[in-house]
Amino acid sequence: MKTVRASRRFLGALGAMATLVVGSAFSAPALADGGIPRGNGILFEPGNPAHIVIRSIYWGLFEERSGTNGFNLLCSQAYGGRALVAEDHPTVVTLGGRILVANDFAGLISSDDSCEWKQIDAFNGESVETIAPVDATGKNFVAVTVQGANAGVTSRVYSSADRGDTWTRLKGTLTPNLSISGVAVAPSDPMRIYAVGVMIDGGPRMIAVSADGGATFNMLPMGATTEYDATQVTPLSVVGIVPDDPDTLFVRANGSDNPGFVLADELWVSSDAGKTWKKSYQPGDMHDLPGFAFTPDGKSVLISGPGDGIQQASLADAVAAKAGAFTQIYKGAVWGLTFNDGKLYAGNDDYGMKPPFMLGVSTDLGKTFSPLLNHCNVSFPTCNAMSTMTQVCTEQWTRSGGYKTDYVDTCHGGAAGSAGAAGAGGASGAGGTSAGGTTGGGMGGTMTSVVGGADASAPNAGASEAGHVSVKSGACSMGGAPSSSSASTMLMIVATATLGAARRRKAARDSG
């Protein structure tokens, strides 16, 4: 069964990659290697808003903490992943800045300084599928493991009260053959635990509910099977529990990304602790819906996606699944979404946006954003030569097709004032100054766009062809997208993913 679960994740990543490559050839920035770095998730250290961790499906984590010069890339290999494959690893930041990553068969991986990474050996070799905070202290967490055997799979829930150093298996048991993919604890009641997953072999979506801190779990179907296509890959995650109501929660069902079988995500809501469910929102065809947040006053819900921008609804209307409840308040593509200290943070991929950003902050509840990070101003962390980071991530940074060559160097490539030497788009749209720009290491400031001859989202846009962006504080000037993959490589990826579609659907039924 472990092989099946690994196959499902790999094929899912391959299908997503093929979709990305095909799209890149015609409408999005084309890449020489890997996928676009973007802010899929945004995390803050409890009590320390200066420590920010951006979770990206490709490449790994982007982190800024005290003592660093802006954001550093922490490549996926540091915690047992693959930087060039689409992988979504649940991640938390603890009090004191420790990072914990749940990485399937690699287990639970931790780092206190972002340089040394180690596996926490507390789960008897079981795959660690997901992790979540119990409260806002940054000390208490829950994690779920899934162990495969010839007879099926067994999911177990663990808890830690010491930032992940030690873990205790909770007494409550979950239904056999239930593959858990998401867990969360109610902010107003740390004894209320929700875990969501799918029965293997094409079974229904299920939710495990505990009102006693995991001593017992009540198993409930998450909606009628007639309301969704159970044959599709639909990992579930609890995206939000109403802060002052432990009975009301929102669950995201992630639609399939297989070429030819792409389905939109779904947002489901329950106001009676999982007994009954309503579909609160479904984005447009083939759209993701990764972002979710409650407004600080608790009166509204925000959701976001690359095709839907940011949508807002009153909490009452979202819970009632009222038709037309959500209204778009921001048109730009957005992935991650979170509030911190009253400010709204959004994650993106800073291509084809105005203003562009990988991480942006809003003080007007999402109507406008000020950029905090783009793909240019990323560095490699300064670590000991024998550290995990130096040993396993240097190659992902420096090699041909690595992050530095694909992203940082394309931002800084081409001398200022030499616009037009490599293409027609070197000058600004107004025909004025060079788009080459200056470079620097600073962060923050206000980004202003200088539109070049070709749009940054145009296929095969080179460093001197695409529109450039400069940070007034001197961070960097952003060049065009990295060069495209060869057509033969592209076709091979697509063909491989297409041939694997049937296997992936079988894997979905086997592993949930």
- Separation of alpha carbons 58 and 396, rounded Å: 12
Q: Which residues of the chain have pLDDT under 70?
A: 1-34, 225, 229-233, 256-262, 286, 352-353, 412-512
CA distances to 290, 291, 299, 354 from 312, rounded to whole Å, are 14, 12, 10, 21
Please tell me the predicted confidence (pLDDT) of residue 201: 80
* 61 close to 74: Cβ distance less than 8 angstroms: yes
- Separation of alpha carbons 152 and 147, rounded Å: 8
Rg (CA), the chain: 22
**Phi, psi (deg, nearest 5) at residue 206:** -135, 155
Please tell me the predicted confidence (pLDDT) of residue 460: 30
Please tell me the predicted confidence (pLDDT) of residue 453: 27
* 381 close to 62: Cβ distance less than 8 angstroms: no
Please tell me the predicted confidence (pLDDT) of residue 287: 82
Please tell me the predicted confidence (pLDDT) of residue 283: 82
Please tell me the predicted confidence (pLDDT) of residue 15: 36
- Separation of alpha carbons 344 and 337, rounded Å: 7
Q: Return all residues near 56 (Cβ < 8 A) that are at least 6 apart.
A: 37, 38, 39, 40, 62
Please tell me the predicted confidence (pLDDT) of residue 83: 94
Which of 189, 200, 194, 208 lies closest to 238 in space, CA to CA? 194
Residue type, 53: V
Residue for token digits 């695409």?
466
Q: What is the pLDDT of residues 305-353, one digit of tens each?
A: 988 999 999 999 999 999 999 999 999 899 999 999 999 999 998 876 6
**Phi, psi (deg, nearest 5) at residue 237:** -145, 140
Please tell me the predicted confidence (pLDDT) of residue 258: 55
Which of 271, 246, 252 lies closest to 321 in space, CA to CA? 271
Residue 367: both structure tokens together: 């109507």
Q: What angle do CA 228, 275, 339 make, to 5 degrees?
A: 80
Please tell me the predicted confidence (pLDDT) of residue 355: 78
pTM over 0.85: no
CA distances to 9, 180, 260 from 235, rounded to whole Å, are 11, 9, 19
Please tell me the predicted confidence (pLDDT) of residue 286: 67
Which of 471, 472, 449, 473 lies closest to 352 in space, CA to CA? 449
- The H or E element that residue 504 is part of is helix 501-511
- Separation of alpha carbons 348 and 334, rounded Å: 5
Q: Is cis: bond before 243, omega within 30 of 0?
A: no
State whether residue 190 is helix, strand or coil.
strand
